């Protein structure tokens, strides 16, 4: 299952991607979009696998998570 985890900055997105990859997840960074498909000012991490565990790993590594949704 794919999850979109919104983070507060590009720095947190890159750090989060590295944390998740180190834990064995496939993760990608992308610009967040709004409901109309326009680029927002935030960034997201796309991750495949257990969304709860991925979010827990990010929070434990002090990556500021803003939200999460199923992709």
pLDDT band for position 71 (cuts 50, 70, 90)? confident
- pLDDT tens readout for residues 13-56: 999 999 999 999 999 999 886 655 555 668 999 999 999 999 99
Domain parsing of the chain, residue ranges: 2-70
Q: What is the pLDDT of residue 34?
A: 61
* pLDDT(69) > 60: yes
Strands (E), 1-71: 2-7, 27-33, 39-48, 65-70
Q: What is the pLDDT of residue 32?
A: 81
Q: How many CB atoms lie within 10 A of CB 14?
A: 15
Q: Which CATH superfamily is domain 2-70 in?
A: ACT domain (3.30.70.260)
Q: How far apart are CA 52 and CA 1, in angstroms?
A: 11
Cut 0.95: pTM above it: no
């Amino acid at each position: 299952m794919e999850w979109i985890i919104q983070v507060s900055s590009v720095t947190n997105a890159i750090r989060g991607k590295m944390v998740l990859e180190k834990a064995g997840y496939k993760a990608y960074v992308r610009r967040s979009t709004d409901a109309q498909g326009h680029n927002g000012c935030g960034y997201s991490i796309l991750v495949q696998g257990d969304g709860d565990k991925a979010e827990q790993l990010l929070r434990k590594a002090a990556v500021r998570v803003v939200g999460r949704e199923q992709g």
